[in-house]
Structure 1
Amino acid sequence: MELKSVDWLIMLLYFAFVIGIGFALKRYMKTSKDFFQAGRALPAWICGLAFISANLGAQEVLGMGASGAKYGLETAHFYGIGAIPAMIFVGIFMMPFYYGSKARSVPEFLRLRFDEKTRAFNACTFAVMTVFSSGISMYAMARLIQLLHVFDSMFRSLNWPQSGIFTFSIVLSAIIVLVYIFLGGLTSAIYNEVLQFAIIVAGFFPLVFLGLKNIGGWQGLKASLPDAYMHAWHGLGHASTNPMGVDAIGMGVGLGFVLGAGYWCTDFLVIQRAMATPDMDSARRVPLIAAIPKMFFPFLVIIPGLIAIALPTPHTTETVIHGADGAIIHNIQVVPQQIEQGKGIVPAKMNPVTGKPMLTASGQPLLDYDMATPNMLLHYFPTGLLGLGLTALLASFMSGMAGNVTAFNTVFTYDIYQSYLNKRASDHHYLVIGRWATVVGILLSIGTAYAAIAFNNIMDTLQLVFSFVNAPLFATFLLGMFWKRTTGHGAFAGLIAGTSAAMLHHGLTLPIEATPGIHGGWLTVVHHYPSDMAQNFWGAIFAFSANFIVTVIVSLITKPKPDSELVGLVHSLTPKPETGHLTWWKRPEALAVAILVVFVALSIFFA
Structure 2
Amino acid sequence: MNALDYLILVLYFGTVLGVGFAARRAIRTSVDFFLSGRSLPAWVTGLAFVSANLGALEIIGMAANGAQYGLMTLHYYWIGAVPAMVFLGIVMMPFYYGSKVRSVPEYLRLRFNRPAHLLNALSFAVAQVLIAGVNLYALALIMQALLGWPLWVSIVVGALIVLVYITIGGLSSAIYNEVLQFFVILAGLIPITVIGLVKVGGVDGLWDAVRGSDLGEAGLHTWSGTGSAENPLGASWIGIVFGLGFVLSFGYWTTNFAEVQRAISAKDMSAARRTPIIAAYPKMFIPLVTVIPGLVAVVTVTGLGAETGDLTYNNAIPLLMRDLLPTGVLGVAVTGLLASFMAGMAANVSGFNTVFTYDIWQAYVRRDRSDGYYLRVGRLATVVGVLVGIGTAFIAAGFNNIMNYIQMLFSVFNAPLFATFIIGMFWKRMTAWAGFWSLLVGTLGALATYLLYAAGVLPFDSDLEESFWGAGVAFVLVVVVTAIITPLTAGKPEGELRGLVYGVGRADPGGEVLAGDARWYRSPLLLGGIALAISALLYLPVL
2:412·2:447 contact (CA, 8 Å) conserved in 1? yes
CA distance in 1 between partners of 2:40 and 2:542 (Å):
36
Match of 2:536 in 1: 600
Q: CA deviation at 1:27?
A: 2.4
Match of 2:482 in 1: 551
Match of 2:367 in 1: 423
2:62·2:290 contact (CA, 8 Å) conserved in 1? yes
Paired AA for residue 604 in structure 1: L
What's the TM-score once normalised by structure 1's chain length? Answer: 0.86
Match of 1:583 in 2: 519
For residue 69 of structure 1, the aligned residue among 64, 67, 70 is 67
- With 252-261 and 568-577 compared, the bigger mean Cα shift is at 568-577
2:307·2:400 contact (CA, 8 Å) conserved in 1? no
Q: Deviations over 1:36-71 (max 9, x none)?
A: 010111111000000000001122111000110111
- With 20-29 and 558-567 compared, the bigger mean Cα shift is at 20-29
Q: CA deviation at 1:292?
A: 0.8
CA distance in 2 between partners of 1:431 and 1:205 (Å):
40
1:266·1:474 contact (CA, 8 Å) conserved in 2? yes
RMSD over aligned CA atoms reads: 1.5
Task: Note the residue ranges of structure 1 that are not aligned, 5 or more in a row.
Answer: 152-164, 314-341, 352-366, 510-519
Match of 1:332 in 2: none
SS class of match (2:224): coil
1:579·1:587 contact (CA, 8 Å) conserved in 2? no
CA distance in 2 between partners of 1:194 and 1:578 (Å):
26
Q: Deviations over 1:102-155 (max 9, x none)?
A: 10000001111111111100000000000011000101111211112444xxxx
CA distance in 1 between partners of 2:9 and 2:281 (Å):
28
SS class of match (2:16): helix
Paired AA for residue 451 in structure 1: I
CA distance in 1 between partners of 2:146 and 2:287 (Å):
26
Q: Indicate whether 1:250 and 2:186 are aligned.
A: no
Report 1:124-273 matches (<5 A): 124-151=122-149, 165-225=150-210, 226-239=216-229, 241-273=230-262
Paired AA for residue 390 in structure 1: V
The structure that has the greater radius of gyration is 1
SS class of match (2:53): coil
SS class of match (2:308): coil
Paired-residue identity, %: 50
For residue 503 of structure 1, the aligned residue among 441, 444, 447 is 447
Match of 1:571 in 2: 502
SS class of match (1:237): coil
CA distance in 1 between partners of 2:177 and 2:513 (Å):
31
CA distance in 2 between partners of 1:595 and 1:149 (Å):
40
Paired AA for residue 391 in structure 1: T
Q: CA deviation at 1:217?
A: 1.6
Match of 1:88 in 2: 86
SS class of match (1:28): coil
User: Aligned in 2, Cα 1:584/1:412: closer, same or farther, shift over 3 Å?
Assistant: same
Q: CA deviation at 1:578?
A: 7.3
Paired AA for residue 19 in structure 1: L
Alignment coverage as a number of residue pairs: 533
Paired AA for residue 205 in structure 2: G
Give the number of the structure whose residues are more often helix, by fraction. Answer: 2
- With 134-143 and 587-596 compared, the bigger mean Cα shift is at 587-596
Q: Indicate whether 1:410 and 2:341 are aligned.
A: no
2:220·2:542 contact (CA, 8 Å) conserved in 1? no
Report 1:2-401 matches (<5 A): 3-151=1-149, 165-225=150-210, 226-239=216-229, 241-311=230-300, 313=302, 342-343=303-304, 349-350=308-309, 368-401=312-345
CA distance in 2 between partners of 1:421 and 1:89 (Å):
35
Match of 1:363 in 2: none
Match of 1:327 in 2: none
1:127·1:408 contact (CA, 8 Å) conserved in 2? yes
Q: CA deviation at 1:605?
A: 3.5
Task: Note the residue ranges of structure 2 that are not aligned, 5 or more in a row.
Answer: 211-215
Q: CA deviation at 1:551?
A: 1.6
CA distance in 1 between partners of 2:4 and 2:514 (Å):
53
CA distance in 2 between partners of 1:214 and 1:501 (Å):
47
1:347·1:371 contact (CA, 8 Å) conserved in 2? no
2:55·2:340 contact (CA, 8 Å) conserved in 1? yes
